[in-house]
Amino acid sequence: MASDSTFDVVSKVDKQEVANALHQTQKEVAQRYDFKGVGAEIDFSGENILLKANSEERVKAVLDVFESKLIKRGISLKSLDAGEPYASGKEYRLEASIKEGIAQDLAKKINKLIRDEGPKGVKSVIQGDELRVSSKSRDDLQATMTLLRSFEEADLQFVNLR
């Protein structure tokens, strides 16, 4: 009797690459002429990333630089959760965070997608902040991976294919 093949669907981000992208952004903001005298800066504040500048457009420009550094380091922008700029005294601020793990409601959507559109005989189980997908056929698992690659709401990786 053949045993089931499985893989896990996770959403993880390399924290070191995020830190590297943040440091590169800090250097570029400090050196670029269009950021001189506008009080533009980017910092970690706990789990969040805080962007500051003296105008809404400059804060968005700092965010744009940060996004480009994330892309160059291979981090999907689906993992970046950026808010809207808001005024705080004389400066504008924007808070962003890096999403890790699959939230419960998102896991339910992925589960439903696999059930509705995936190959028959593929089962998925929510395990904390990840999903375990199993099937007797490895080809069905490959088809399920292809289906999940088109999922737009989160950056998904596939690990532990057995």
Quick one: 124 and 139 in the same domain?
A: yes
CATH number at residue 106: 3.30.70.860
Query: Tokens 């339910």 — which residue?
Result: 108
pLDDT by residue for the chain (162 residues), tens digit each? 356 888 888 888 888 999 999 999 999 999 989 888 888 899 987 778 999 999 899 999 999 999 999 999 999 888 888 889 999 888 999 999 998 888 888 889 988 988 888 888 888 888 888 889 898 888 888 888 888 888 888 888 888 878
Quick one: 92 and 23 in the same domain?
A: yes
Quick one: 106 and 89 in the same domain?
A: no
Quick one: 78 and 110 in the same domain?
A: no
Quick one: 48 and 76 in the same domain?
A: yes
Q: Which residues pair with 44 in a beta bridge?
A: 49
Quick one: 42 and 113 in the same domain?
A: no
Quick one: 84 and 115 in the same domain?
A: no
Quick one: 87 and 106 in the same domain?
A: no
Question: How many other CB atoms sit within 10 Å of the CB of residue 74?
Answer: 9
* Domain hosting residue 29, numbered range: 15-98
- Note the pTM of the prediction, 2 decimals: 0.82
